[in-house]
Amino acid sequence: MSHSVVNLAEKALRIQDTWSPRVVAQMNDVQFKLVRVEGPFVWHAHDDTDEAFLVLEGALEIELPGSSVQLGPGELFVVPRGTRHRPVAHAPCLLMLVEPRGVVNTGDTGGEKTAENDRWI
């Protein structure tokens, strides 16, 4: 069994693209992903899973039907499965996403912002 520490700051420095999550660790079938974001994402939902957003740097707004949630560094929000949502970063932001392996970042919407899945950094 291999024991290794994941240095999030070091991993984050290696990420240049926005809206393209990179896996940094996996526990059972749950992946921990770092992603740089800026601007609005697409409205989407994940019918089969919840999705956790943890802000590491910057601020994130998660738009929901009829409301929105504001997150700052160290704050976590879980979007329940099947809930339409749209992340928006009004300035550069670094997030950790926690979700099952194989989840497509654009959910049921697809399109040009769909990132390649299971990319490790």
Q: Is residue 8 within a helix (H) or strand (E), and if so which, with residue range? A: helix 8-13
Which amino acid makes up residue 100? Answer: P
Tens digits of residue pLDDT in 56-101: 999 999 999 999 999 999 999 999 999 999 999 999 999 999 999 9
Strand pairing partners for 76? 54
Tens digits of residue pLDDT in 45-58: 999 999 999 999 99
CATH number given to 15-100? 2.60.120.10
Q: Is residue 12 within a helix (H) or strand (E), and if so which, with residue range? A: helix 8-13
pLDDT at position 12 is 97
Residue 2 reports pLDDT greater than 80: no
d(CA 93, CA 96): 10
Where do the structural domains in the chain lie, given as residue ranges?
Answer: 15-100
Q: Which residues contact 81 (CB under 8 A, 6 or more apart)?
A: 46, 47, 48, 49, 50
Whole-model pTM: value is: 0.94
CA-based end-to-end distance of the chain: 20
